[in-house]
Amino acid sequence: MEFGTLVRSYPEHMQSVIALHQTVMRDIQSPFTVAERELIAAYTPALNACAFCYGSHRAVAEALGVDSELLDALVGDIESAPIGDNLKPVFRLVKKLTESPSKVSPADRSDVLAAGWAEQAIVDSCLICGMFNMMNRLVDGTGIEADASLFAGLANEQAAIDLYRMG
């Protein structure tokens, strides 16, 4: 199945899902740039081995100026990845929230705050992470397949502000 087929076949189901994506990824004021949000959106499915979500959001992040090798470095080792020290606790939180959510601790949240982020950074990173964990299950569970040619062709369009609008 293609993702567009899922959206067209189940518009009542997908309308709220797509609206949430638009709100979290583009419409809200966030301490994260759109590119940083897309990086979190690609990192989460990378951890889950969800090829469709990983490929599409990696392409969008790259279209927004994220270095093509940064995501690989993050997945390999957050601590040595070429990102600012302020982002490392955010990605550690996202990793733990994805891989073992019940083990997220007050210390994980405190690390994000100690890196100079406001509480909203915790909320936004958890929203993005949670949303993409859900999408990974929806995409993989319904058999949405990754098509690398689709990622390259849509990356610039998806980087636009209205990526998640339906219709």
Whether 85 has a pLDDT exceeding 80, the answer reads yes
Handedness of CA 89, 44, 57, 159 (dihedral sign): negative
Task: Kindly report, residue by residue over 21-62, the tens digit of the pLDDT.
Answer: 999 999 999 999 999 999 999 999 999 999 999 999 999 999
**Top CATH class, 3-158:** mainly alpha
User: Which two tokens mark 134?
Assistant: 């859900």
- Buried b vs exposed e over 3-21: b needs ≥16 C-beta within 10 Å? beebbeeeeeebeebbeeb
Whether 118 has a pLDDT exceeding 50, the answer reads yes
Residue 4 carries which side chain, given as an amino acid letter? G
- Please name which of 140, 155, 99, 113 lies closest in space to residue 3, comparing C-alpha atoms: 140
Q: Find the range with the poorest average confidence among 39-48, 75-84, 100-109, 145-154.
A: 145-154
- Write down the pLDDT at residue 156: 57
Half-sphere exposure of residue 40: CA atoms within 13 angstroms, side-chain side: 33
Rounded CA-CA distance 164/24 in Å is 10
pTM for the complete prediction?
0.91
**Do residues 120 and 31 touch, judged by C-beta distance below 8 A?**
yes
Task: Note the maximum CA span of the chain.
Answer: 45
- Write down the pLDDT at residue 75: 95
- Write down the pLDDT at residue 166: 45
- Write down the pLDDT at residue 4: 85
Domain ranges within the chain, ordered by starting residue: 3-158
Q: Count Cβ atoms below 10 Å from residue 76 Cβ, excluding itself.
A: 9
Whether 88 has a pLDDT exceeding 80, the answer reads yes
Main-chain dihedrals φ then ψ at residue 33, nearest 5 degrees: -70, 165
Task: Kindly report, residue by residue over 124-166, the tens digit of the pLDDT.
Answer: 999 999 999 999 999 999 999 877 777 766 665 555 545 555 4
pLDDT band at 68 (very low <50, low <70, confident <90, very high): confident
Distances (CA, A) of 113 to 39, 43, 68, 88: 20, 21, 28, 12
